[in-house]
Amino acid sequence: MIARGSPDGTEIVKGQTVSEVGIWGNRIGDKQITPEPEWGEEDRYMVGEKRPVRDVVLGSGHGHIMGMAVTRGKGRAVAMIGERWMRELFTAPYLANFSVNLKNFLGQGDHPEFRWANEDYKPGDIVLVKRSMHFNVTKLAKAVMEGVNGVVISYLGTLGTLGQHNTLDLMRALNIQIYYSIYGYVQDAKVDLTSLIYSASAYVNPGEVFKWRVKNSTDKVDKFFFTFSCQSDDISKVNPWKRWPVIKHALQLRSEGSYATPTGGILLMRIDADNIGITLELEDVYRHPWFDLRNQSAIDDWDNERLRHNLVPWTMFFGDIVFSCLQTKAVVKLNKDDMVFLQTYMDNVVKIMHNFRGSDWTTAGIEVFAVDIQIAAGWGHSGMPVLGHLPWQDSSTDIKDIKKTSNIGITHEFGHNLQNWAATLKWGTEVTNNVYHFIVRGHLVNLTAYGFNVSWAFGWHEVKQVIDIWKGTDYNGVNLGYYNWLGMLFGEGLLVNLWHETFHNRNSLNSEEKKVNFWLTKMCSETEHNVIPWQELWNFPIDNNTRTECAKYSCYFPDDALTQQVPDIVEKAISKVPGGCVRTPKKQVASKHDIFKGLYTHGQPWFSFL
């Protein structure tokens, strides 16, 4: 994997260090390795803000790592399975290739030398460790962490246990994890929410048999189902396919059993009842990095967890009411603080939407966001889960971009899942879901939420749309700017109150006319103004009862950057009102509801490992 010159050569030549599995050149046997770039692609070399990747896996198989290069503290270490390679380290061709590069990677000072761990070694030496040796583990681990010595470790192990010896103790002291699967672990799950699914925090390999045993259950076992994969789209009608058309499938639990799925994927559980619990023993599944915002120990251990279980392709991580399913490589780039911010933000987005709408997020169940190589429609879509193409995971894990732009795509799709149809007027399917941008931008990332020329609020193109509608005679609903304008003029409280009123009366608002007249009547009541002379410019189907109810209040007509563009239309509308209209609103409408309920809080852990 690291080579220079001819494989049969014995000449000692200073080689080019290669820091990961990737050879920068053509054929290794008879060509020189071209210099490695100072910085490669960020995903391959970097974590976040130019933080070097700590652990580089050189090879793996059968559930454990065959070779690994790591950085620990100020020092470095290389660990590889087997002993023969270490015995032959000073013979050809290792002497000309591997040993030279080990010195370059691990050595300290001008002339680093190899020394056995059970011999006297001095600062700058590279210490060689194998299982038969007895040495001071604490001393050597400290020397590595302080950058005084590098270390090369030869270890032996099977899929069972490595046993107890100094080599294993040293690897533990340096936190070198050589297993990426847990071949037997017990998981206790207490499901206390109306969500239908949750993750077992495990990945199932395609075609590989795994086993389970139910240790305990508070209800009948047949109320539990295994579900495989968080990629749920059926792409059978999409052409051409980039993956198998149907991946997600389910299996009803028995007290114990075994199963092999042809597609593999994140192992999920579906539950047919609330407030029940189950304890499972799983074998031959692969742990993915575990992060649970409800579990402080999972938070505290994340920076170790992302190194320990980073080889499975997919990871699901958990917030209070939002789960995310992304490629593992996108998740392990994030440190503990990044993960806490990201998952708290996702939770808060959904919670504040529920609070704004008037629904109860504590009983509404979870939302799930996932990405896939191919989806059924569009660049992303709503549903369970919200699905986006693979590049969505880059924007959804870009902390700086979220703080700068609020991750608009996610808000848009979650907005569809929580759409207030009673406030959605003609052609408004892609409108009212975006009203949630106002509260997300304004309260979660401190961006301007209301105003002319604000993107996803009231841009000038939307102002032009309003003016064009006013000049016509047809009713075609309203655009996003309409709702933003209400917030600009009367305050966000008006939108909150109207959203609650319409949502709680949604069953009776079953026609366009009923929705329009309910909306306008409540607007007049909340603002204490007759807004009909202004609102009828949208050509709403307004009935006489609404006109009579709103006529109890004084007329109001805005005077701002929009209305000043069409003075003739404004003057004509106001001239029809006896006594005219005031141009300044009587008050800012106060919200009757707490849209911040439960933000930055979380419940009990979703599950635990026993």
Q: What one-character-per-residue DSSP string does 100-169 give? A: HHHHHHH--SSS--EEETTS---TTPEEEE-TT----HHHHHHHHHTTS-EEEEEE---SS---SSHHHH
Q: Are 77 and 153 in contact (CB under 8 A)?
A: yes
- Where is mean pLDDT largest: 76-85, 244-253, 567-576? 567-576
Residues 84 and 137 in one domain: yes
Residues 330, 332, 335, 340: is their CA dihedral positive or negative? positive
Q: For residue 413, is it within any domain? A: no
Q: Which long-range contacts (CB under 8 A, 24 or more apart) does 176-179 make?
A: 176/68, 176/70, 176/72, 176/77, 176/79, 177/65, 177/307, 177/308, 178/64, 178/65, 178/68, 178/79, 178/81, 179/63, 179/64, 179/65
Q: Which of 389, 426, 392 is nearest to 411 (CA)?
A: 392
Give the least confident one: 16-20, 312-316, 366-370, 527-531.
16-20
pLDDT of res. 253: 86
Evaluate whether 10 touches 4 at the Cβ level (below 8 Å).
Answer: no
DSSP β-ladder status, 367-372 and 386-389: parallel
Residue 462 lies in a domain: yes
Q: In this predicted model, what pLDDT tens digit does every residue of 55-82 receive, in sequence order?
A: 777 765 545 567 788 888 889 999 887 7
What is the pLDDT at residue 206? 86
User: Quick one: 241 and 156 in the same domain?
Assistant: no
Residue 323 lies in a domain: yes
Classify residue 316: in a domain, yes or no. Answer: yes
What pLDDT is stored for residue 468 in this prediction?
96
> What is the Cα gyration radius of the chain?
31
Q: What angle do CA 592, 358, 444 make, to 5 degrees?
A: 80
What is the rounded average pLDDT of the residues 498-520? 97
Residue 525 has pLDDT above 90, yes or no: yes
Spell out the alpha helix ranges (H) of 197-331.
Answer: 296-300, 302-308, 328-331
The predicted-structure confidence for 416-437, as pLDDT tens digits, reads as follows: 999 999 999 999 999 999 999 9
Structural domain count, the chain: 3
Q: Does residue 383 carry a pLDDT above 60?
A: yes
- Report which listed range, 170-179, 279-288, 309-318, 433-442, is most confident: 433-442
Same domain? 210 vs 316: yes
The tokens 């709408």 sit on which residue?
357
Per-residue pLDDT at 609: 58
Does 195 score more than 60 pLDDT? no
* Mean pLDDT of all residues in 22-29: 36
Going by C-alpha positions, the residue among 373, 186, 385 that lies closest to residue 287 is 186
Please answer whether residues 584 and 485 qualify as being in contact, where contact means their C-beta atoms are separated by less than 8 angstroms.
no
Question: What average pLDDT does this structure show over 233-257?
Answer: 86
Q: Which DSSP category does 31 fall into?
A: S
Same domain, 383 and 520: no
d(CA 230, CA 387): 9
Whether 161 has a pLDDT exceeding 70, the answer reads no
> What is the pLDDT, as a whole number, of residue 10?
47
Indicate whether 298 and 394 sit together in one domain.
yes
Give pLDDT tens digits for 457-481: 899 999 999 999 999 999 999 999 9
pLDDT of residue 272: 73
Is 378 within a domain? Answer: yes
Between CA 410 and CA 382 the distance in angstroms is 9
Lowest mean pLDDT among 46-50, 211-215, 442-446: 46-50
My answer on whether 69 and 135 are in the same domain is: yes
Q: What value does the mean pLDDT take over residues 475-497? A: 97
User: Are residues 303 and 385 both part of a single domain?
Assistant: yes
Give residue 15's pLDDT band: very low, low, confident or very high (50, 70, 90).
very low
Instruction: Look at residue 164 in the predicted model and tell me its pLDDT.
Output: 55
Q: Could you tell me if residue 436 is inside a domain?
A: no
Look at residue 155 and tell me if it is in a domain: yes
Helix 166-173 and helix 137-145, axial crossing angle in degrees, nearest 10: 30
Higher pLDDT, 277 or 571: 571
Interatomic CA distance for residues 47 and 112, integer angstroms: 30
pLDDT at 198: 74
Which position has the higher pLDDT, 273 or 174?
A: 174
| Portion of the chain with pLDDT greater than 70, in percent | 82
Tell me what pLDDT residue 3 has: 38
pLDDT for res 159 = 32
Task: Tell me the C-alpha distance between 139 and 117, whole Å.
Answer: 10
* Residue range of the domain that includes 286: 196-405
pLDDT of 306-319, one tens digit each?
988 888 899 999 99
Query: Which residues, including other chains, have CB under 8 Å from residue 526's CB and lie 6 or more apart?
Result: 490, 494, 497, 498, 589
Spatial distance between the Cα atoms of 539 and 168, rounded to a whole number of angstroms: 78
pLDDT band for position 94 (cuts 50, 70, 90): low
CA distances from 465 to 458, 478, 479, 515, 562 (A): 10, 9, 8, 22, 11
For residues 246 and 360, membership in a common domain is answered with yes
Residue 243 has what pLDDT? 86
Which whole number is the average pLDDT over 535-555?
98
The per-residue pLDDT of the chain, averaged, comes to: 83
Looking at mean pLDDT, say which of 43-52, 60-69, 161-170 comes out highest.
Answer: 161-170
CA torsion 600-603-609-610 (nearest 10°) is 140
Residue 417 located in a structural domain: no
Single pTM value for the model: 0.70
Does 167 share its domain with 204?
Answer: no
* Same domain (yes/no): 469, 563: yes
Are 320 and 218 in a shared domain? yes
Are 295 and 340 in a shared domain? yes
What is the residue-wise DSSP string for 323-351? EEEEEHHHHTTS-HHHHHHHHHHHHHHHH
Tell me which of 165-179, 209-223, 413-427, 438-452 is least confident. 165-179
Residue 157: what pLDDT? 56
How far is 557 from 531, CA to CA, in rounded Å? 7
